[in-house]
Amino acid sequence: MNTIRRILLIVDGQSESDSLLSEIVSISTAMQTHVTLLGIQETPAHHSEQVDEQQLYQWIKKDRQEQLVSIASTLEESGIQVSCHQLSGKPWLEIIHFANQGQYDLIIKPADNETGFKNILFGSTDMQLFRMSPHPIWVFKPTPNRNLKNLALAVDLLPYDDERNSLADKILLWGKQISDIAGSHIHVVHTWKLFGELTLRGRTISSNTVDKLVREEEKKQQLLLSEAIQRNGLEADRVTIHFRKGDAKKLIPEIVSTENIDLLVMGTVSRTGIPGLFIGNTAETVLRQVDCSVLAVKPDNFSSPVEDGR
């Protein structure tokens, strides 16, 4: 079970939605969590002769401080311990440094769509956090007055791959914990395929032989999923299984949409071994397509380039 004792909530200068603060209150009350509010002023990229930048910075800092105090007051009314901090710099980098120093269990921030495209929820800061943060990062879609009714837990399981299966356990435990607090229904999503099936069907191997290999792989994957669900204590009456053969990049967004998912819990780590690539192609593609909040987790042995100084 994940123990959430310290939450870092990023305050971005926009008014925080009632649903976000409601979830913070629910988690913090249930687990006696301390919440730190962090506001970050980004260094301006351009200079203007018409604007006194020092004065503008002070105004922004004052406005952010007022917002921090207001949110802190709301949380304290629910009996939550709160502290406030302000920093300046590149937001995603400052967030990771601050979280590392404070040993936070969970980072929560509103989605930051600066692209202007309605079909893309997450902005560059969000994507960098998904890539680089060693801490679980929950990027919240700012939808007012919406509870977490449906959670999707996207897991990836393979025989004899301890790292991948351990990450799946982590995803399932996070989902169970949030479901227990919010009363959410859980949708476990596991996509699978027979490696090299198309190539095999294009060779001299008979269709019956390939079909048999597909059925054997399906049974292996079903067993792995069943064992993972049992191992992590998910209750059958609160879980819907989506066991689908095909491409995760297509199927996960499809299920998120059709099942009206409020929060997707998934792993975001590259398995290619390419230096500097810290998010897998599947995760990147899924994140560009979904329109819901996302909680991204990393394997326990994930080493962030921010931690390493790279």
Tell me which of 18 and 33 has the higher pLDDT: 33
Domains and CATH numbers, the chain: 1-145 (3.40.50.620), 147-310 (3.40.50.620)
Q: What is the pLDDT of residue 273?
A: 47
Question: Tokens 């990147």 map to which residue?
Answer: 284
pLDDT of 85 strictly over 50: yes
pLDDT in tens, 145-191: 567 899 999 999 888 888 889 999 999 999 999 999 999 999 999 99
pLDDT in tens, 191-230: 999 988 888 887 878 999 999 999 999 999 999 999 999 9
pLDDT in tens, 101-131: 998 999 999 988 655 555 667 888 999 999 8
Which of 131, 98, 123, 115 minimizes the C-alpha distance to 6? 98
Q: What is the pLDDT of residue 162?
A: 87
Record the pTM: 0.90
Q: What is the pLDDT of residue 23?
A: 86
Mean per-residue pLDDT of the chain: 86
Q: What is the pLDDT of residue 276?
A: 44
pLDDT in tens, 219-259: 999 999 999 999 999 988 899 999 999 999 999 999 999 99
Mean pLDDT in residue range 69-84: 94
DSSP letters of 174-214? HHHHHHHHHTPEEEEEEEE--TTHHHHHTSSS-HHHHHHHH
Q: What is the pLDDT of residue 58?
A: 81
> In sequence order, which ranges of the chain are alpha helices (DSSP H)?
18-31, 53-76, 91-102, 124-132, 162-182, 197-201, 207-231, 248-258, 281-289, 305-308
Helix (H) or strand (E) holding 6: strand 6-11
Token pair of 100 as six digits: 């590392």
- 18: pLDDT confidence band, cut at 50, 70 and 90? confident
The angle, 0 to 180 degrees and rounded to 10, between the axes of the packed helices 53-76 and 18-31 is 50
Q: What whole-number distance in Å separates Cα of residue 258 and Cα of residue 160?
A: 32
Q: What is the pLDDT of residue 146?
A: 63
Q: What is the pLDDT of residue 79?
A: 93
